Structure 1
Amino acid sequence: MGKRKAEATPVPGRYPVDMGEAELLRDLDRPSGWLLSMAGVPQSYVDLADPTYLDFEYVRLMADVIDALAEGPLDAVHVGAGACTLPRYIAATRPGSRHIVVEPDAALVELVREQLDLRSVPRLKVRVADGRTAVSGLRDASADLFVLDAFSGATMPVELATGEYMGDIARVLKDDGTLLVNIADGKGLAFARRVVATVRGTFPHVALLAEPGILRGRRFGNLIVAASSAPLPLRELTRKAAGGLTQARCVCEEDLEKFVAGAAPIRDGDRVITPVPPPELFE
């Protein structure tokens, strides 16, 4: 399902974009697979012939949550979509879905449009703006799904992790809409705990998905927060996390309370130290 032939072959190489330099690398194991990196940090992987193939582990966790939602097309907002891996996946698995993609780098959008066949994704609109400005202009209760996967290099912008921004996201989501947040953190998970505390300050139903080694702070990696004003399908998420290729855990309810461990929510203006991955992580 969702297989197609790209209209043109991308050209590997380095490309100047508004926020630095992007690089396109061909996957030698998958002829139609491409990796997009920014400043040496892998940002997105797409298979142009099969958008249902997801290479990054954290993206597969996000897809597990999306697959557990009620059947049918979705109205989705993506803040920081890179090469639009998830919009492609949702378009293939839930035909008729509509997407608003928010990306502040206009040159990067054009690169993805021309080299990675972005025009092939139906019902997708791109808004070149920062995450806060773009979301403030979205209609109330207009989205079934909100994906927050925005990074500057390898760190999440703090202004997209505050209680004020979570409140604006809640405004845009429908009553049963779902928020997905990608966090990167390492030893101690201090930033992840604060982000989870922030999300819990807005949404009554929250779960955290990650590999056990990352949850224990043993290595730097990605953690996925799922949140909603309506109950989450926790049993299915737990089963999918444990049975997937990533062998992840779903932390929720009392266990999530223990994970937060009294961490303070992030507010606009707070001084927050964002985690930086070890230099050898992307070597």
Structure 2
Amino acid sequence: MARRAPTVIAPNTPRNTPIAIGSGTVELRDESDGSTTVWVNNVPSSSMRPEVDVLDFEYMRHMAAAIAAWAPSGRWLALHVGAAACSLPRYLAHAYPESGHIAVDIDTSLPELVREWWDLPRAPRLRIRAQDGLDAVASRRDDSLDLVVRDAFAGDATPNHLADAHWWEQARRAVRASGLVVANVGTRPGTIMGRDDARAARATFNDVIAVGEHAVLKGKRRGNVVVVAGDAIDSRALARYAASAPLPTGVDPGWNR
């Protein structure tokens, strides 16, 4: 039996070559494991691979675990603030076939490129558009979303207007009472990155739990922390996930308090 040729991501796009986009540049770099990393302004932003049920970035696996602990049966709608290559929306659309996803990105040209690069679900399962993350949340009707995923960065930090009290209040207004918000927070030792973000989340939701590597949670190493916010988070499920994660992972309900 003939062996199938491997799937090539974005076969007509040059590698290791910056491509101009609205917010700067994007570059594709192939990895030895068959995935392709998307670099935006020289920062790794997303990972694309043929397999639909695999997430390469650790923080996205944290997000997926938090969503798995929460996800209701039946239909639900998610808003992704910071679309990039839509790796997580693609994964979730596969894992939860009845879910719908809206992904927004501040860049005006990147959403068009990622549609060309790989096999993303089509509308209405996944709608991608260029829009500011605050506008995307603030323009939603009350109680019109089940999930908000925030993964938007300028360099290695979340833009201030997507991490302050107003943004979190708008997210609280837009998600239903049973809804969830998961946010990727970049951290660096010796800084207060993420402190006001986490405090604003706590002022808005009943339960806020941080998930990340132990050293990152303790401020000893640079990395990403996933802030999970809702009114009834299954903390035991998150603890079980952390205990079995490939890298030393912890959950901290008091992170940056």
Same fold (TM over 0.5): yes
Matched to 1:18, the amino acid is: G
Runs of 4+ in 1 over 2 A off after TM superposition: 4-14, 70-74, 116-122
Per-residue displacement from partner, 1:79-99 (whole Å, max 9, x unpaired)?
Answer: 002110110111110002111
1:92 corresponds to 2:88: no
| Contact 1:209–1:223 (CA under 8 A) maintained in structure 2 | yes
The residue matched to 1:260 in structure 2 has which SS? coil
Which of 109, 113, 116 aligns to 1:114? It is 116
Identity of aligned residues (%): 36
| Contact 1:208–1:251 (CA under 8 A) maintained in structure 2 | yes
Matched to 1:134, the amino acid is: A
Paired with 1:66 and 1:34, the residues of 2 have a C-alpha distance of 25
Q: 1:172 to 1:67 in 2, by over 3 A?
A: same
Matched to 2:245, the amino acid is: G
Matched residue, 1:244: 245
Matched residue, 2:63: 62
1:224 Cα offset (Å): 0.5
Q: 1:128 to 1:188 in 2, by over 3 A?
A: same
Matched to 1:66, the amino acid is: I
Q: 1:214 to 1:104 in 2, by over 3 A?
A: same
1:7 Cα offset (Å): 9.1
Q: 1:21 to 1:108 in 2, by over 3 A?
A: same
The residue matched to 2:92 in structure 1 has which SS? helix
Matched residue, 2:235: 234
Matched to 1:218, the amino acid is: K
Uncovered stretches (5+) of structure 1, i.e. residues with no partner: 262-283
Matched to 1:21, the amino acid is: T
The residue matched to 2:193 in structure 1 has which SS? helix
Q: 1:141 to 1:6 in 2, by over 3 A?
A: farther
1:121 Cα offset (Å): 7.4
Paired with 1:8 and 1:161, the residues of 2 have a C-alpha distance of 33
Give aligned pairs, total.
Answer: 249
The residue matched to 2:154 in structure 1 has which SS? coil
| Contact 1:10–1:116 (CA under 8 A) maintained in structure 2 | no
| Contact 1:35–1:44 (CA under 8 A) maintained in structure 2 | yes
1:34 Cα offset (Å): 1.5
Matched residue, 1:161: 163
Q: 1:188 to 1:121 in 2, by over 3 A?
A: farther
1:128 corresponds to 2:148: no
Which of 73, 78, 81 aligns to 1:79? It is 81
1:116 Cα offset (Å): 2.5
Matched residue, 2:140: 138
Which of 104, 107, 121 aligns to 2:106? It is 104
Matched to 1:58, the amino acid is: Y
Paired with 2:228 and 2:211, the residues of 1 have a C-alpha distance of 8
Matched residue, 1:22: 26
- Using the TM superposition, name which of 241-250 and 184-193 deviates more: 184-193
Matched residue, 1:187: 189
Q: 1:6 to 1:178 in 2, by over 3 A?
A: farther
| Contact 1:141–1:171 (CA under 8 A) maintained in structure 2 | yes
Q: Please report the RMSD computed on the Cα atoms of aligned residues, expressed in angstroms.
A: 2.0
Which of 19, 25, 40 aligns to 1:38? It is 40
| Contact 1:45–1:56 (CA under 8 A) maintained in structure 2 | yes
Uncovered stretches (5+) of structure 2, i.e. residues with no partner: 1-5
Matched residue, 1:50: 51
